[in-house]
Amino acid sequence: MINGVKTETHPHVERFGWLTPEALARVRGILVAVTLFVGLVVYVFHTLGPIAERDSQFLRRLQGMGILTWLYGLAQMVDLRFYNSRFARRRRASVGLPDSLHGLLFGQMIAWYGILYYGLTGDYRPFVAGVGILAVAFWVFPIRR
């Protein structure tokens, strides 16, 4: 049994046997470092010169995509941590990743939308909010020893 999943019924779960708590801490650190580095690259890109004006329809679609991304990511994080619905149980059994990494990936999805929005529009607020959600994901999904 690995991370609460029976490996007899799910033999593919064994592929994450190397993901010890120490390795999981390194993986999570690398994911956050890559997120912050790409955000820094976008910041430097925007300091080099002005950005092109975007069409208002494009911005509305991009904001709509952001709303859907935020709703999906936050709903999945709440479900994974607090409700444990059949969808979360099925994902946990089929993927085999520990909840501490899976929850962080949902938080990172929100931060990466912020990077995309920042890169295309020059508005940094969704990125800062996404990094805030990523920080909350570290607290809500601790590494279990």
- Model pLDDT for residues 22-47, shown as the tens digit of each residue: 888 898 999 999 999 999 999 999 88
Domain assignment present for 97? yes
pLDDT single digits (tens) 60-95: 999 999 999 999 999 999 988 888 888 888 877 777
Domain count for the chain, please give it. 1
Report CA-CA distances (Å) from 96 to 49, 65, 101, 107.
45, 28, 10, 18
- Domain span including residue 76: 11-140
Instruction: Determine the pLDDT at residue 94.
Output: 78
Domain assignment present for 1? no
Domain assignment present for 78? yes
Which DSSP symbol is given to 50? Answer: P
Residue 11 clears pLDDT 80, i.e. is over it: no
Instruction: Please report, to the nearest 10 degrees, the dihedral formed by the alpha carbons of residues 34, 31, 22, 5 taken in order.
Output: -160
- Confidence (pTM): 0.80
φ and ψ of 87, to 5 deg = -70, -45
Residue 127 clears pLDDT 60, i.e. is over it: yes
Domain assignment present for 107? yes
Instruction: Determine the pLDDT at residue 24.
Output: 87
In sequence order, the 6+-apart residues with CB closer than 8 A to the CB of 7 are 1, 13, 14
